[in-house]
């Protein structure tokens, strides 16, 4: 029996919480039933069954009281199945012998040219000239599908599909099985879980096939590994050559997201099939809140993928700048936040009082008159309490006709506000941030002359529009500007740490470009993503950690091609320890949200630097056994570990001492009581570069002087590749109020390499 006495109570509490969250998220629960994922012990199948599928069906029938059907069976990333159950049936099922856990399904959401040069990939590629290994790497992208006709999937110059590839191109509505080629080598779709919850896909709105009708999946997959496309642009903006981070890698897409969301039963099956197909990298730009790793389907799937040597990259989320807002925090996942490029799309708003304000825009169309245009604040042109937000139907046409309308950002989509203004007869729009977004500016392809401005400018404009008897304004669009400084800066929307599941693991791991990113786009939808937008473009510029994640996925593919023997942990270590946390002048990278230096809770190790990551000198490596020790350290129960890892439930030994501080992670997170204390961490470095002697420096950041860091030994010498050396770090802290954070950086330096790790100290 795999059941334990306290599991029923734990299950009831967990299910109640998840069901409440599901209701809030708009999950569909038909007649008390919803989808559950049933984790089973593969070895516990009773002898009377010839196959696991038969056992699963029988166990389901035994509790359902009706002709229930299995939605999916899972055979590799986990053992078990998914099905529609009532809560009582789920509890009864979990009490059966051989059943480890029964988890309610989670609905996940999407985390919605210049980049290679900004990242220095031109320099990095020179270190590893084109080779067959670069084109043997496959990036699997779980998202909204693909628009295969885009030039980003051109296979010119690529050789045959890798010999070990087992994937295929699945046909369906608006998608021919011949749509794949030597670049796009696989395209599949998964919707049984979605349809079990939401009903049949509405084929008038989206294709029942790998076809991408949203744009998000085409954008992310082409960002990761798109072929070079000359003359790419969006409506004349950001013109140049667009290419992915690993332009010679192959792409395989797995459509798991639909109009109603991305359901964990489909995501798990998509991950399982992708691993069986033979991908080397998995990229998932989606998330669904935080929960224990054994209840997080992405964490479960990623664990088994990691065991098979597959690098898994996930977006941190777009819920910043609030603390503890990130998702996908499992230590075997590389968690990616977002920063800016050195490229912007300026627009200038001039008021009738002569004041001029900087903004951004991707508007391309008929310009406003050069003479001043009447200006009005939306809150003064509506009888609705939501009028200032330019919600549908809230503006009074007689008050906005022929005027530039100032709309508050928030609640409805940014570009949607422009449609509302246009439909009410407005001539243009200024979209003003409120305190929720501060000074962060995200460029949009507005449907009418429109520009976004920061909170300070917005406040000044509101005051002017409400106090001047005849307010006027004008907007001038200045095209594309490169060389913007400072850059990068951490995007305000980028989700932040700490890691709420295991605070001893610092997350996010690092940041990558995620603001105003140009990449391929769907032919089904306009650049705004709004149904009424009838413009069609081959490329689009959008922002989010959804965009930063595939940058890292593509860079991981690039590193895999250069270092085929590196583990997923070694690849992540190389990306993290070579990331930069300061500008060339020594000042720390800035955070848009605070307009001050970013911290490791905002950016992890810093901004990715691929030209250095190809030759990191040393790496912090990890195996599946190390992660199992970590799960013992966080005191997961045997059944929980077995459900997550598929390994024996008695893995944790009572005679051993386990510690999160012993996980060989490339960053440090120490926790102290308010009175202060001492905490020791152990790490092991593996030489992957030239022989050399490394000396350590460790220091607290300004304002974090209550932290003392000592390292033993302080010097490590390596004579050959593969050699390993261990060290111990002692963190000592004086007393601080509960909730205080301190930061620092630990650096090993040789004549040729710098291996850096961020430090977080938290007083609880």
| Confidence grade of residue 112 (pLDDT, cut at 50, 70, 90) | low
Q: Is the pLDDT of residue 24 over 90?
A: no
Q: For residue 354, give the DSSP letter.
A: S
Q: Is the pLDDT of residue 5 over 80?
A: no
Token reading at 682: 């152990």
String of DSSP letters for 539-595 = EEEE-SHHHHHHHHHHHHHHHHHH-TT--HHHHHHHHHHT-B-B-TTSPBPEETTTT
pLDDT for 707: 87
Give which of 698, 673, 578, 570 is closest to 626, Cα–Cα.
570
Place of tokens 């809030």: 24
pLDDT for 8: 36
pLDDT digits (tens, 9 = 90+) for 618-648: 999 999 999 999 999 999 999 999 999 988 7
d(CA 382, CA 363) in angstroms, rounded, equals 25
| Confidence grade of residue 4 (pLDDT, cut at 50, 70, 90) | very low
d(CA 344, CA 321) in angstroms, rounded, equals 21
State what percent of residues in the chain have pLDDT above 90: 86
pLDDT digits (tens, 9 = 90+) for 45-92: 999 999 999 999 999 999 986 668 999 999 999 999 999 999 999 999
**For 122-146, what is the mean pLDDT?**
72
Helix (H) or strand (E) holding 628: helix 624-633
pLDDT for 12: 38
**446 included as an active-site residue:** no
Q: Is the pLDDT of residue 7 over 70?
A: no
pLDDT digits (tens, 9 = 90+) for 403-447: 999 999 998 999 999 999 999 999 999 999 999 888 989 899 999
User: What is the greatest pairwise CA distance in the chain?
Assistant: 86
Q: Is the pLDDT of residue 156 over 90?
A: yes
pTM (two decimals): 0.92
| Confidence grade of residue 289 (pLDDT, cut at 50, 70, 90) | confident
**For 345-354, what is the mean pLDDT?**
97
CB neighbours of residue 425 within 10 Å: 16
Q: For residue 387, give the DSSP letter.
A: G
Lowest model confidence (mean pLDDT) among 28-42, 246-260, 458-472: 28-42
**For 559-587, what is the mean pLDDT?**
97
pLDDT for 649: 61
d(CA 498, CA 42) in angstroms, rounded, equals 35
State what percent of residues in the chain have pLDDT above 70: 92
d(CA 454, CA 431) in angstroms, rounded, equals 9
String of DSSP letters for 124-184 = HHHHS---HHHHH-EEEEEES-B-TTSGGG--TT--SPPTT----B--BTTB-TT---SSE
Which of these is catalytic: 546, 561, 567, 667? Answer: 546
Which of these is catalytic: 39, 79, 111, 216? Answer: 216
**For 294-299, what is the mean pLDDT?**
96
Q: Is the pLDDT of residue 458 over 90?
A: yes
- Please check whether residue 478 is in contact with residue 356, taking contact to mean a CB–CB distance below 8 angstroms: no
Number of Cα atoms under 13 Å in the Cβ half of residue 452: 25
CB neighbours of residue 393 within 10 Å: 11
Give which of 206, 117, 61, 92 is closest to 522, Cα–Cα.
206
Compute the mean pLDDT over every residue in the chain, rounded to the nearest whole number. Answer: 91
d(CA 365, CA 449) in angstroms, rounded, equals 8
pLDDT for 700: 80
Helix (H) or strand (E) holding 337: strand 334-339
**4 included as an active-site residue:** no
Q: Is the pLDDT of residue 208 over 90?
A: yes
Token reading at 689: 């570069």
Phi-psi region of 376 (alpha: psi -120 to 50; beta: other; left: phi over 0): beta
Give which of 745, 747, 758 is closest to 716, Cα–Cα.
747
pLDDT digits (tens, 9 = 90+) for 509-556: 999 999 999 999 999 999 998 989 999 999 999 999 999 999 999 999
d(CA 535, CA 657) in angstroms, rounded, equals 61
- Cβ neighbours of residue 167 closer than 8 Å, sequence gap 6 or more: 185, 186, 188, 252, 273, 274, 277, 278, 279
pLDDT digits (tens, 9 = 90+) for 223-258: 999 999 999 999 999 999 999 999 999 999 999 999
| Burial classification of residue 757, based on how many CB atoms lie within 10 Å of its CB (0-12 exposed, 13-18 middle, 19 or more buried) | buried
Which of these is catalytic: 64, 79, 111, 143? Answer: 143
**546 included as an active-site residue:** yes
pLDDT for 16: 40
pLDDT for 1: 18
pLDDT for 129: 45
String of DSSP letters for 252-275 = EEEE-EETTEEEHHHHHHHHHHHH
pLDDT for 3: 27
């Amino acid at each position: 029996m795999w059941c334990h006495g306290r599991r029923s109570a734990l299950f009831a509490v967990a299910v109640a919480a998840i069901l409440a969250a599901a209701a809030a998220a708009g999950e569909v629960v038909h007649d008390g039933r919803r989808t559950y994922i049933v984790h089973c012990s593969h070895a516990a199948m009773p002898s009377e069954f010839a196959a696991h599928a038969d056992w699963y069906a029988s166990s389901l029938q035994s509790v359902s009281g009706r002709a229930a059907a299995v939605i999916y069976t899972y055979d590799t990333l986990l053992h078990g199945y998914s099905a529609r159950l009532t809560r009582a049936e789920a509890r009864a099922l979990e009490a059966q012998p051989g059943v480890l856990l029964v988890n309610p399904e989670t609905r996940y959401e999407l985390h919605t040219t210049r980049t290679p040069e900004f990242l220095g990939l031109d320099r990095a590629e020179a270190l590893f000239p084109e080779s067959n290994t670069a084109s043997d790497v496959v990036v699997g992208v779980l998202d909204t599908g693909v628009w295969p006709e885009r030039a980003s999937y051109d296979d010119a110059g690529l050789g045959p599909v890798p010999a070990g590839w087992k994937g295929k191109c699945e046909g369906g509505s608006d998608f021919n099985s011949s749509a794949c080629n030597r670049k796009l080598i696989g395209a599949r779709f998964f919707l049984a879980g979605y349809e079990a919850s939401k009903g049949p896909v509405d084929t008038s709105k989206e294709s029942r096939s790998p076809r991408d009708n949203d744009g998000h999946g085409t954008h992310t997959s082409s960002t990761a590994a798109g072929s070079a496309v000359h003359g790419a642009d969006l409506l004349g903006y950001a013109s140049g050559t667009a290419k992915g981070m690993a332009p010679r890698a192959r792409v395989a897409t797995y459509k798991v997201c639909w109009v109603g969301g991305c359901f964990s039963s489909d995501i798990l099956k998509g991950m399982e099939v992708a691993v069986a197909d033979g991908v080397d990298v998995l990229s998932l730009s989606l998330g669904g809140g935080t929960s224990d790793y054994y209840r997080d389907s992405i964490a479960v799937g990623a664990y088994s993928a990691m065991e098979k040597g597959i690098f898994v990259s996930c977006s941190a989320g777009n819920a910043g700048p609030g603390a503890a807002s990130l998702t996908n925090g499992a230590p075997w996942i590389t968690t990616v936040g977002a920063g800016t490029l050195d490229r912007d799309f300026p627009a200038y708003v001039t008021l009738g009082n002569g004041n001029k304000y900087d903004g951004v825009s991707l508007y391309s169309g008929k310009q406003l008159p050069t003479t001043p245009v009447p200006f009005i604040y939306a809150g003064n042109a509506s009888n609705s309490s939501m009028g200032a937000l330019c919600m549908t139907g809230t503006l009074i046409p007689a008050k906005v006709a022929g005027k530039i309308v100032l709309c508050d950002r928030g609640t409805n989509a940014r570009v949607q506000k422009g449609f509302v203004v246009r439909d009410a007869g407005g001539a243009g729009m200024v979209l003003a941030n409120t305190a929720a977004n501060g000074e962060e500016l995200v460029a949009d392809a507005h449907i009418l002359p429109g520009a976004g401005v920061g909170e300070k400018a917005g406040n000044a404009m509101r005051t002017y529009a409400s106090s001047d008897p005849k307010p006027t304004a004008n907007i001038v669009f200045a095209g594309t500007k490169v060389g913007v400084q400072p850059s990068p800066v951490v995007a305000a929307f980028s989700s932040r740490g700490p890691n709420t599941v295991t605070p001893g693991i610092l997350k996010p791991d690092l940041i990558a470009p995620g603001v105003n990113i140009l990449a391929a786009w769907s032919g089904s939808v306009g650049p705004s993503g709004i149904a009424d937008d009838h413009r069609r473009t081959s490329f689009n510029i959008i922002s989010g950690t959804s965009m930063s994640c595939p940058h890292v996925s593509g860079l991981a593919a690039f590193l895999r091609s250069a270092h085929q023997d590196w583990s997923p942990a070694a690849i992540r270590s190389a990306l993290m320890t070579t990331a930069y946390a300061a500008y060339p002048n020594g000042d720390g990278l800035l955070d848009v949200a605070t307009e001050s230096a970013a911290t490791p809770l905002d950016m992890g190790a810093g901004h990715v630097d691929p030209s250095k990551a190809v030759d990191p000198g040393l790496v912090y490596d990890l195996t599946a056994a190390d992660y199992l020790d970590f799960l013992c350290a966080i005191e997961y129960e045997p059944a929980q570990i077995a459900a997550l890892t598929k390994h024996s439930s008695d893995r944790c030994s009572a005679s051993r001492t386990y510690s999160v501080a012993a996980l060989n992670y490339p960053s440090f997170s120490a926790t102290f009581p308010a009175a202060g204390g001492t905490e020791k961490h152990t790490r092991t470095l593996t030489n992957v570069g030239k022989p050399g002697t490394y000396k350590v420096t460790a220091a607290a950041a300004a304002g974090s002087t209550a932290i003392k860091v000592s390292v033993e030994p302080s010097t490590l010498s390596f004579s050959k590749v593969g050699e390993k050396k261990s060290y111990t770090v002692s963190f000592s802290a004086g007393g601080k109020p509960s909730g205080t954070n301190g930061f620092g950086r630990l650096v090993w330096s040789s004549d040729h390499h710098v291996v850096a790790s961020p430090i977080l100290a938290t007083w609880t």
